[in-house]
Copies of this chain bind each other. A is one copy, B any other.
Amino acid sequence: MDLQLKNIGHQYGDLDVVRGIDLDIPRGKIICIVGPSGCGKSTLLRLIGGLERPIEGQVLQVGTPPADSINPLTFVFQDFALLPWRTVEGNISLVLEDHGLSGKEMEAVISDVLARTNLSDFRKALPKQLSGGMKQRVAIARALAVRPAVMLMDEPLSALDSQTRELLIDDLVTLWTREPFTAVYVTHNLNEAVRLGHSIVVLSRRPGEIREIVNIELPLADRTLGNHQLEEHQKRLWQIMREEALAADQELIDD
């Protein structure tokens, strides 16, 4: 299943947030969306995932999702969005409970995703006992549990410290290499974008329009820290964005 965005535009009251977005999200690829803060990246992702209805344009699902997909469009949020009163296991079973799985199937799914994210030892832990990195791995495990056709990731690593982020980028690359998934990955971190994106969509500052789409051919597994080609891409992206970012940062927030 692919996704197609057709001339998406959205406003909150008088505030024009995104405008005229046309984008294809092909199967098995990671699309990164970067842009200055407040340019409507999160809004765009919510529109794609059906959490909000676009005022203009359409988000189309092309083809049908795989039959075994429980929740075709699945989010991974920046703030993890774990229920603090449920254990790691309980947080994963939460998203399976409404879909009529038997206890055994559920158990199998949980064990599988916990193993894939190296969390098997922390099954009974409460979120408050986990470090940020572990929490986000639980959120990723939960997303994997519903076998998504497309993962919608809203700055999944930006609440983490940079060392943990480094570790999780490796995890994501490993996951993708083992079994490629489709993802829309919103970030404001250009390093993350060049490490994870098959193509990188640069948005202008608000109202967000597509400034440029950069494709990177290098296989994900080869994109190591300090790779020169990636550095060049990152530098180029920064040049595109610098002014927009500066302007966005200097804006007064009115209530």
Contact = CB atoms under 8 A, between A and B. Distances in A.
A217 interface: no
Interface in A210-255: 225-226, 228, 231-232, 234-235, 238, 241-242, 245-246, 248-255
Given A234-B225, A238-B225, A252 B130 contact: yes
A128 interface: yes
A58 interface: no
Contact of A252 (B122, B167, B190): B122
Interface in A172-203: 188-191
Interface secondary structure of A, over-half rule: helix
Given A231-B226, A235-B226, A252-B125, A167 B245 contact: yes
A64 interface: no
Nearest to A38: B131
A241 B125 CA distance: 26
Interface in A107-144: 122, 125, 128-131, 133-134
A138 to B, nearest CB: 13
A110 B9 CA distance: 43
Contacts of A191: 162, 191
Contacts of A231: 225-226, 231
A91 B129 CA distance: 36
Contacts of A14: none
A162 B129 CA distance: 27
Interface in A128-175: 128-131, 133-134, 158, 161-164, 166-167
Contact of A253 (B129, B167, B255): B129
Contacts of A255: 128-129
Contacts of A190: 162-163
Interface of A: 36-37, 122, 125, 128-131, 133-134, 158, 161-164, 166-167, 188-191, 225-226, 228, 231-232, 234-235, 238, 241-242, 245-246, 248-255
19 contacts: A37-B131, A122-B252, A129-B253, A130-B252, A131-B250, A158-B161, A162-B191, A163-B190, A163-B241, A163-B245, A163-B248, A164-B245, A166-B238, A166-B242, A167-B245, A167-B246, A191-B191, A225-B234, A228-B228
Given A162-B188, A163-B249, A225-B238, 16 more contacts: A36-B163, A37-B161, A37-B163, A129-B254, A131-B249, A134-B249, A134-B250, A158-B162, A161-B188, A161-B189, A162-B189, A164-B245, A164-B249, A166-B242, A167-B249, A191-B191
